[in-house]
Structure 1
Amino acid sequence: MRTLCINLKTPQESSSAEAFLILSPRVQFRFPQFVFVEIESTQHLFGGETPCLEKALQIAAKFSSDACAAIADTPSAAQMLARWRPSFIAPRGKEQEAFRGLGLDALKDLEGLQPWPQKRPVEHMISFFHTLGVHGLEDVLNFRLNSLRERWGDFGVLLWNRLHSQDAQVISPLIPRDPLVGYGYLDDPLGSVPLLMARMKPHLDILFVRLAGLSRYAQKLEVVLHCEYSDKKYPLSIEPVSPTRDHELFEDLLEKKMSQLTLENPIREFEISLFDVPEKVQQLDFFEPRDNSEDRWRRLISFAKQAQCEMGFLQMEASHFPEQSFRFVTDWPEDFKAQDLIERQEEALQIKSVYAKGLAASPRPSLLLDKPQALNASEVQKLRFISSLPSERIESSWWQISVQDLKNRDYYFALSPQGQLLWVFKDRINSQVYLHGFFD
Structure 2
Amino acid sequence: MRTLCINLKTQQESSSAEAFLVLSPRVQFRFPHYIFVDIESTSHLLGGEHGVLQKAVEIGRKFSADSSAAIADTAPVAQMLAKWKPFTVAPRAAEHREFSGLGLDALKDLEGLAPWSQKRLIEHVISFARTLGVCTLEEVYNFRLVSLRERWGDFGVLLWNRLHSQDSQVISPLVPRDPLVGYGYLDDPLGSVPLLFNRIKPVMDTLFARLNGLSRYAHKMEVILHCEYSDKKYLLLIEPISASRDQALFEDLLYKKMEKTELTNPIREFEVSVYDVPEKIQQLDFFEPRDNSEDRWRRLISFAKQSNCEMGFLQVEASHFPEKSFQLVTEWPEDFKSEDLVERQDNAVQVKTTYAKGLKESPRPSLLLENPQPLNSFEVQKLRFVSTMPSERIESSWWQISSQELKHRDYFFALSQQGQLIWIFQDKVSSQYYLHGYFD
TM range (shorter): over 0.9
Asked if residue 253 in structure 1 is aligned to residue 253 in structure 2, the reply is yes
Q: List structure 1 runs of 4+ shifted beyond 6 angstroms.
A: 343-346
Moved more, 138-147 or 177-186: 138-147
Amino acid at match of 1:144: R
Cα gap change, 1:408 to 1:339, in 2 (>3 Å): farther
SS at match of 2:250: helix
Which residue matches 1:191? 191
Answer yes or no: is 1:12 the counterpart of 2:7.
Answer: no
Please state how far the C-alpha of 1:333 moved relative to its aligned partner.
Answer: 2.5
Deviates most, 21-30 or 389-398: 389-398
Q: Which residue of 2 aligns with 1:377?
A: 377
- How many Å apart are 1:396 and its aligned residue? 4.0
Following superposition, the deviation at residue 56 of structure 1 comes to 0.3
Cα deviations across residues 12-32 of structure 1 (Å, max 9, x unaligned)? 111111110111110000011
Distance in 1, matches of 2:403 and 2:169, equals: 77
Please give the residue correspondences for 1:54-69 in structure 2 after superposition, counting only pairs within 5 Å: 54-69=54-69
Q: 1:276: how far off?
A: 1.1
Partner of 2:119: 119
Shift of 1:109: 0.8
**Structure 1 residues 30-39 or 173-182, which shifts more?**
173-182
Residue 42 of structure 1, CA deviation: 0.8
Between the aligned residues of both structures, percent identity stands at 74
Report deviation, 1:401: 5.8
Opposite residue 324 of structure 2, the aligned amino acid is Q
- Shift of the alpha carbon at 1:404? 4.6
| TM-score (structure 1 length as normaliser) | 0.95
- Greater shift after overlay, 241-250 or 357-366? 357-366
CA shift at 1:97, angstroms?
1.3
Name the structure 1 match of 2:94: 94
Q: Does the residue aligned with 2:83 lie in a helix, a strand or coil?
A: helix
Indicate the residue corresponding to 1:171 in structure 2. 171
Report deviation, 1:53. 0.4
Displacement after TM superposition at 1:298 (Å): 1.4
More displaced 10-residue stretch of structure 1: 134-143 or 87-96 = 134-143
TM-fit CA distance, 1:403:
7.8
Partner-residue secondary structure (3-state), 1:338: coil
1:327 equivalenced with 2:327 (yes/no): yes
Deviations 1:174-210 (A, max 9, x none): 1111111111111111111011001111111111111
CA distance in 1, matches of 2:3, 2:46: 15
- Residues 352 and 188 (structure 1 numbering): CA distance in 2 closer, same or farther, change over 3 Å? farther
CA distance in 1, matches of 2:405, 2:12: 69
The question of whether the paired residues in 2 share the 8 Å contact of 1:103 and 1:136 is answered with yes
Measure, in 2, the Cα distance between the counterparts of 1:53 and 1:387: 72
Work out whether 1:301 is the aligned partner of 2:298.
no
Contact conserved, 2:391 with 2:411, CA < 8 A, in 1?
A: yes
The within-5 A match list for 1:278-427 is: 278-342=278-342, 347-349=347-349, 351=351, 354-400=354-400, 402=402, 404-427=404-427
Output the amino acid matched with 1:177: R
**How far does residue 67 in structure 1 lie from its aligned partner after superposition?**
0.5
1:151-172 CA-partner distances (Å, limit 9, x unpaired) = 1100000001001111010001
| Structure 2 unpaired stretches of 5+ | none
Question: What corresponds to 1:29 in structure 2?
Answer: 29
In structure 2, relative to structure 1, the CA distance for the partners of 1:263 and 1:322 (3 Å cut) is same
| Deviations 1:100-149 (CA, angstroms, capped at 9, x unpaired) | 22112111111000011122111211122222222221222222211110
Cα distance, 1:399 vs structure 2: 4.1
- Match of 1:160, SS state, is helix
Q: Distance in 2 between matches of 1:277 and 1:158?
A: 45
In the aligned structure 2, how far is the partner of 1:353 from the partner of 1:215?
36
Distance 2:73 2:403 in 1: 78
What is the one-letter code of the residue matched to 1:125?
A: V
96-105 or 11-20: which moved more?
96-105
Which consecutive residues of structure 1, in runs of 5 or more, have no partner in the other structure? none
Amino acid at match of 1:277: V
SS of corresponding position for 1:398: coil
Going from structure 1 to structure 2, the CA distance change for 1:226 and 1:397 (only over 3 Å counts) comes to: closer
Residue range with higher mean Cα deviation, 389-398 or 33-42 = 389-398
Q: 1:243, 1:179 → 2: CA distance?
A: 17
Per-residue CA deviations over 1:254-309 (Å, capped at 9, x if unaligned) read: 11111112211111111111111111111122222211222112112211221222
- Which segment is superposed worse, 138-147 or 174-183? 138-147
AA aligned opposite 1:231 = D
SS at match of 2:115: coil
CA change 1:116–1:353 in 2 (3 A) is farther
Aligned residues between the structures: 440
CA contact (8 A) 2:19 2:59 kept: yes
Alpha-carbon separation, structure 2, partners of 1:356 and 1:58: 42
- CA-CA distance at 1:319 after TM superposition: 2.0
Contact 1:410 1:425 in 2 (8 A): yes
RMSD, matched Cα:
1.8
The CA deviation at 1:356 is 3.6
Match of 2:82 in 1: 82
Is contact 2:315–2:358 with CA below 8 Å preserved after alignment?
A: no
Shift of 1:99: 1.3
Paired residues of 1:215 and 1:278 also in contact (CA < 8 A): yes
Q: Against the structure 1 CA distance between its residues 352 and 128, is the aligned structure 2 distance closer, same or farther, given a 3 Å change threshold?
A: farther
Q: Given the superposition, is the C-alpha separation of residues 30 and 254 from structure 1 closer, same or farther in structure 2, using an over 3 Å criterion? A: same
1:74 is matched by which residue type in structure 2? T
Paired residue secondary structure (1:167): coil
Q: Distance in 2 between matches of 1:352 and 1:190?
A: 53
Aligned residue in 2 for 1:40? 40
| Structure 2 counterpart SS, 1:355 | coil
Which residue identity lines up with residue 19 of structure 1 in the other structure?
Answer: A
> Against the structure 1 CA distance between its residues 247 and 137, is the aligned structure 2 distance closer, same or farther, given a 3 Å change threshold?
same
Counterpart position of 1:223: 223
